[in-house]
Structure 1
Amino acid sequence: MRLKATVFLCGAAVMVVEVLSSRLLAPIYGNSLFVWTSLISVVLAALSLGYYRGGIFADENPSPKKLSEVILYAAFFVALMPYITVFLGTILKNVAGFKAGSLVTSVVALFMPSYFLGMVTPFALKIKINALEKTGRTAGNLIALSTIGSIIGTLATGFILIPYIGVTSIVYGTSLLLLAISIYIGGRDVSLILMVLASVVYLSIRVTSTSPLAFGENNSTHVLLAKDTPYEYLQVTDNQAANGTTRLLALGSLFQGGIRMPSNTSFYEYVDYYNLAWLYKPQIRNILVLGCGSGAGPKELARLHPNATIDVVDIDPEVLAAAEKYFGLTGNDRINLIEKDARMYLSDSDKKYDLIILDIYGGTHAIPFHLTTKQMAQSIKDHLTEKGVFAAEIVSALSGEEGLMFRSEYKTYREVFGPLDVFYFTSNDTNQRSTIITFTTRDGGLGKERLILSAEKTDVGLNSSDVLKKINTLYEGEVQLDDVPVLTDDYAPVDSLIAPMTSRT
């Protein structure tokens, strides 16, 4: 019974470690395809070597005491994971780049715990076979138990542990569980057990107290909220600077929105561009914002356009809650907060909108590919009223490798909507990174001359000089499209397209 419980729990621990490692890496490298590819490859390689070496060691000494030592080592290396990930990851991100950094960090942080956990099943199998004659059935039972444990570990981590418990607490809880299993299965070396226990406690206090998964507190930054959500690591911080205080919302390692205090106006300049939608359609009543962030955009639109009602859709309930509590985006008869995936919302809704804003490109480490495709663009078009307006924000360059994502998206949108108006600008609030706002209607864009004429007779909520300044950022050159794909549900290599940008963030 002890062996069966050990195999089951260690099988669960393997998947807990793998799932948690993605959350440890996300604040540094994002949550992209490359990160997951690195993690899965490292775990499989480590498990393979663990199975192989575990079988050899088990033949040499198939004793419960030796197995307990193996699990003890696994407990120790699990406890090291947050420490290694944060400090090594931060260094390698700047030295080795995004792809290589995430792979090397995964190897150093994840290989050893997965290796020792991989040794458990061969050890248990050898011990069990020595006591029984039914070799085939015994092997099948233990492997099945390990696999079932992995399934339970995966489900428990994703559906229960991460949503309700902090990542570091789960890591050290897993380490302590393995330590308990080591004692349970036959550990007798008290000094070694105490050493591992002391290491786990020390690392848990040190790493947790310094908030390694967060941006952390210092003299100019005060953390108001730091928690794991079902989708990301969420932070809200107040940041002191010479020109005042800003309150920012971050998902993973990237800021997604913010406001200036105490004026409660948006910190990010691109939000003001959304008011240009009224140049395309002066009578805008129903607005859909896909992607909430801090909620500064919807809040500004509601303030400047009192006749408009706004539906704000975001998949993460914790982001919506943070926008309400810390940024003043209050749900009421004019602002409706909806917890749902943006594409699912469009699929399930028949409602038409005068303006649809797609604001999910704020980060460059992970963009939901299903929100970038031609099918998504067509769904947006189907939900626009006659002369309805579509706007999207993209942090990108216009050309070259760092413009691959924008150019692919531009090509995709153009196939659905026709001509697009592209506003391209750089501002201090994005650390000198360029932001692109695309506007179009069901019948295509307007062009600079028609926009200027519309501005002369339309109140968009901004002063006229500011409107003209924004119109003058309209890009009138050609966008190179021959080397980029149209993004579809079948083919949308988003992670590869944004890789040139992530390598320098």
Structure 2
Amino acid sequence: MNSANPMTSELQARPAAPARFYQAFVFLCGVAVMTVEMAASRLLAPFFGDSLLVWSNLIGIIMLGLAAGYYWGGRYADRHPRPEPLFVAVLLAGLWVSLLPLVTRPLFRLLPGDVFSTPTRLIIVSFAGASLAFLPPVTLLGWVSPYVLRLLNQSVESSGRLAGRLYALSTVGSLMGTFLPSLVTIPWLGTAATLALAGALLIGSSAWGLVRSRAERVEHEMQQRRPPSHPPKPKPEHPLRSFFLFLFLGVPATVFVASRGPLKPVPGLVTEAESAYQFIQIWQQGQIRYLVVNEGGGIQSFYRPGSPFGTGWYYDYLALLPYLYRLAPSPAGRATAAGAAEAVRAAQTPGRGIAAPAMAATAAPAAAAASAATAATAATKAATASTATPATKAVAAPAGEAVLKTLLIGYAGGTVAQQLAALPAPYRSEVVGVEIDPEMVRLARDYMGGIPPHTRVVVADGRIWLRRDKDKYDIIIVDAYSREMYIPFHLSTQEFFREAKEHLRPGGLLALNVNASQTGGLLASFYRTLASVFPHVYWARSGAYMNYLLVATGRPLSPETLPAVIGRDGPPELLPPATELAAGWRSTPPGGKGLVFTDDRAPVEWFTDWMVVTYPARK
């Protein structure tokens, strides 16, 4: 006895055209899922950052939504094997996706979190925000593959082949949804337009399928009721077609227009941009402009008309490298530097003015830094003048020596390049800046004081450029970060430092800016890795926050006389950091267990995440 479901019999009686439509529908929904994930990372970054913790949350939410959609979609398809519920679910998902650029901004502003929130807070807050925004549409899209499989499956013998075809189409669609937004739509059109296109795609395809399936159902019912001799009546215009056309064209376009304007409005906003690598903002307080990325947890570049020195951040310590390079080894003790450092500390009490937190999102400390630096400069000049010796007066290279040549990997907004170009002879440098993000270079040129004289900027990956470059340099500076807080692992390894060493002239310096804790393992790992390549490695704190300067070279380097040289030949704003650097100069390994990073094993992200996890206890 045949007990076939009448709905199955209805589907079996339909022509093959709907099957092709359903397969295309599966493909398009696969495109949409990954488009949502790629765009979601750009919506989250301005508020929660782009760290590995946030990415883990996002990927986990997408997987959770798909798993829930597979499960509930399959169950519902068995109970209601009709196409209409599927198209309604995808239609709702399309509406949700279209609204994301509009609703996520106020939602995420209510859930503050940055990379140096407590890790528990960052994980919970970013997970909550991402779940509220992205879990519902992804769950609805997870219905598609099992539901279409149920609708098209006509026999057990062909079920495996059908399932394989549908999941292959969904996966190929996901591949397109991965590359198309990241390479085309987000860089060229932006995140809001990308989501509007994805929403329109879902709304249009599901609305067309819903109208068609309902029309076919009505036609099928009319054929069953009509006598065979009766001619068919003309199909009436479906009343929902105009409404669906409005949803397809109106909702995404309206949301796209409404979401124009700043993605993350902040006081003093000058401009913002989305690049293929990050979300970038430039904002201004007083005469100072700051370049920040993602959620703005750290200042990436600093620009102030006039003198580029006296920033109060680690840039001033990198500007001391040409003076270190010109110094001759000196047997003098540390008494002079230590006494001057104590004068600096006394002049800056209360509040350390020369080192505002490098990752701070507010510009208020800069003004205090300038006034404190003025007092510190006077105190330090007095200290160094009273203790100068013949040795300290003979440490600098003659003024007629050639201009230094410096390679800067991680150009960002050009703060370091501007400082190196503004130093007096013989400490001034010709700079080759390497920056992977072309949008960052454009913003630096247009809003951060332009490209300094004798500076050439190359848009490339730092290591790839170094491998192709044939020049030799006196100083190589590595100040490159990805996702704001992670030093790219391939710029952290023994093999990379060997390549860099080959590009140094005799006596040249390799310097790194490392954001780390003194005992967390990351600083110790960089020290050990550099020490496996260079005979002499030194480190010192570069500011009052978590920035450290590591210097590797082939010759002994002693900065005891550095404050005296700066006091005589350098910008006065560099005197306080020079004194601090001389007092804190170390050649012994820092605390913490460290590894020698190699191309095979360089868990930079793990050490950085551990630093974030332990930050509240240190604070």
TM-score (normalizing by structure 1) = 0.84
* Residue equivalent to 2:91: 72
Judged with a 3 Å threshold, the aligned counterparts in structure 2 of structure 1 residues 330 and 92 are, in CA distance, closer, same or farther, namely closer
**Helix, strand or coil at the partner of 2:597:** coil
Retained in 1: the 8 A contact 2:537–2:587?
no
Contact 1:422–1:436 (8 Å) recurs in 2:
yes
**SS of corresponding position for 2:56:** helix
Q: How far off its partner does 1:39 sit? A: 2.3
Match of 2:537 in 1: 420
Q: Determine the structure 2 residue equivalent to 1:309.
A: 430
Match of 2:145 among 97, 104, 121: 121
| Pairing partner for 1:275 from 319, 324, 329 | 319
Kept in 2, the 8 Å contact 1:422–1:475? The answer is yes
Q: CA deviation at 1:460?
A: 4.9
Distance 1:360 1:51, change over 3 A: same
- Cα distance, 1:46–1:78 mapped onto 2, change above 3 Å: same
Q: Among 257, 273, 287, which residue is 1:245 paired with?
A: 287
Pair 1:168 & 2:192 matched? yes
Paired residue secondary structure (2:602): coil
> Which moved further from structure 2: 88-97 or 482-491?
88-97
Instruction: Show CA shifts across 1:322-349 (max 9, x none).
Output: 11111233276x2111011011111222
5 Å-filtered alignment, 1:439-450, equals 439-444=551-556, 446-449=557-560
- Higher mean Cα deviation, 171-180 or 11-20? 171-180
Give 1:320's match in structure 2, choosing from 438, 441, 455: 441
- Partners of 1:273 and 1:470 within 8 A in 2: no
Deviation by residue 1:211-263 (Cα, 9 ceiling, x = unmatched): 34x3x143xx1332x121111112222x23xxx32111112123210112465
Q: Report the structure, 1 or 2, having the larger strand content.
A: 1
Give the 5 Å matches for 1:23-34: 23-34=42-53
User: Alpha carbons of 1:480 and 1:494: their partners in 2 closer, same or farther (altered >3 Å)?
Assistant: same
The amino acid of 2:496's aligned partner reads: M
Contact 1:265 1:296 in 2 (8 A): no
| Alpha-carbon distance change, 460 to 288 in structure 1, aligned in 2, over 3 angstroms | farther
Compare 59-68 and 286-295 and name the one that shifted more: 59-68
Residue number in structure 2 paired with 1:299: 418
Q: How does 1:210-225 map to 2 (within 5 A)?
A: 211-212=262-263, 214=264, 216-218=265-267, 221-224=268-271
1:392 is aligned to 2:480: no
Q: Are 1:379 and 2:421 an aligned pair? A: no
Question: 1:40 maps to which residue?
Answer: 59
Which residue of 2 is the match for residue 359 of structure 1?
A: 479
Deviates most, 193-202 or 388-397:
193-202
Kept in 1: contact 2:516–2:522 (CA 8 A): yes
356-365 or 85-94, which moves further after superposition? 85-94
CA contact 2:494–2:597 (8 Å) conserved in 1: yes
Aligned to 1:97: 121
Larger radius of gyration: 2
8 Å contact 1:420–1:440 — kept in the other structure? Answer: yes
How far apart, in 2, do the equivalents of 1:456 and 1:294 lie? 25
Task: State whether residues 276 and 460 of structure 1, in contact with CA within 8 Å, keep that contact through their aligned partners in structure 2.
Answer: no
2-structure distance, mates of 1:463, 1:18: 46
Q: Report the count of equivalent residues.
A: 484
Q: Distance in 2 between the 1:356 and 1:197 partners?
A: 54
1:58 equivalent in alignment to 2:77: yes
Retained in 2: the 8 A contact 1:38–1:103? yes
Q: What secondary structure sits across from 1:162 in the alignment?
A: helix
Paired with 1:337 and 1:289, the residues of 2 have a C-alpha distance of 9
| In structure 2, C-alpha distance between the alignment counterparts of 1:178 and 1:464, rounded to whole Å | 58
Q: Which residue, 28, 33, 36 being the options, matches 1:14?
A: 33
Q: 1:149 to 1:55 in 2, by over 3 A?
A: same
Structure 1 unmatched runs, 5+: 428-432
Whether the aligned pair in 2 keeps the contact of 1:296 and 1:329 (CA below 8 Å) is: no
Match among 289, 295, 314 for residue 408 of structure 2: 289
Structure 2, gaps ≥5 residues long: 1-19, 215-238, 327-400
Written as runs of structure 1 = structure 2, the 5 A alignment for 1:459-498 is 459-460=569-570, 465-466=575-576, 468-476=578-586, 479-498=589-608
With over 3 angstroms needed to count, the CA separation of the structure-2 counterparts of 1:91 and 1:463, relative to structure 1, is: closer
- Cα-to-partner distance string for 1:389-432 (whole Å, 9 max, x where unaligned): 12222233323x4xx432322232233224433232435xxxxx
Contact 1:247 1:261 in 2 (8 A): no
Match of 1:376, SS? helix
Separation in 1 of the partners of 2:52 and 2:574?
44
How far did residue 314 of structure 1 move? 0.7
User: Which deviations, in whole Å up to 9, do the C-alpha atoms of 1:455-475 show, x marking residues without a partner?
Assistant: 389845557855752444424
- Change over 3 Å in CA distance of 1:335–1:92 after alignment to 2: closer
Higher mean Cα deviation, 274-283 or 315-324? 274-283
Q: Output the TM-score relative to the length of structure 2.
A: 0.70
Compared CA separation, residues 486 and 81, structure 1 to 2 (3 A): farther
Q: Which residue of 1 aligns with 2:335?
A: none
Q: For the Cα contact (< 8 Å) 1:51–1:119, is it kept in 2?
A: yes
Q: Is the 8 Å Cα contact of residues 281 and 388 (structure 1) preserved in structure 2? A: yes
Aligned partner letter, 1:313 = V
User: What SS does the aligned partner of 1:53 have?
Assistant: helix
Q: Is the 8 A contact 2:313 2:542 kept in 1?
A: no
Distance 2:179 2:97 in 1: 19
> How far apart are the structure 1 equivalents of 2:142 and 2:508?
57
Instruction: Select 1:257's aligned residue among 301, 304, 307.
Output: 301
Determine the structure 1 residue equivalent to 2:280. 234
In the TM superposition, residue 480 of structure 1 has moved relative to its aligned partner by: 4.0
Moved more, 359-368 or 18-27: 359-368
Deviation at 1:77, TM superposition (A): 3.2
RMSD over equivalenced CA pairs, Å: 3.4
Kept in 1, the 8 Å contact 2:275–2:437? The answer is: yes
Amino acid at match of 1:71: V
Pick from 446, 456, 460 the counterpart of residue 340 of structure 1. Answer: 460
* Alignment partners' CA distance in 2, 1:268 and 1:112: 46
Separation of aligned partners in 1, 2:603 and 2:248: 44
Could you tell me whether the CA contact under 8 Å between 1:163 and 1:228 is conserved in 2?
yes
**CA distance in structure 2 between the aligned counterparts of 1:168 and 1:245, rounded to whole angstroms:** 32
Q: Which moved more, 1:64-73 or 1:76-85?
A: 76-85
User: What SS is found at the alignment partner of 1:421?
Assistant: strand
Which secondary structure does the structure 1 equivalent of 2:123 belong to? helix
Contact 1:362 1:395 in 2 (8 A): no
Equivalent pair of 1:78/1:171 in contact (CA under 8 Å): yes
The equivalent of 1:430 in structure 2 is none
Residue pair 1:392, 1:438 contacting (<8 A) in 2 also: yes
Q: What's the counterpart of residue 131 of structure 2?
A: 107
For 2:514, give the aligned amino acid. Answer: I
- Aligned partners of 1:442 and 1:422: how far apart in 2? 15
User: C-alpha separation between the residues in 2 aligned to 1:460 and 1:426?
Assistant: 19
- 8 Å contact 1:280–1:441 — kept in the other structure? no
Asked if the contact 2:43/2:104 (under 8 Å) is kept, the reply is no
The answer to whether the 8 Å contact 1:85/1:105 transfers is: no
CA contact (8 A) 2:538 2:588 kept: no
Conserved 8 A contact 1:309-1:335:
yes
Asked if the contact 2:32/2:174 (under 8 Å) is kept, the reply is yes
Shift of 1:51: 1.6
Structure 1 residues 89 and 380 mapped into 2: Cα distance closer, same or farther (>3 Å)?
Answer: farther
Match of 2:550 in 1: 438
CA distance in 2, matches of 1:263, 1:278: 17
Aligned mate of 1:369, from 489, 493, 498: 489
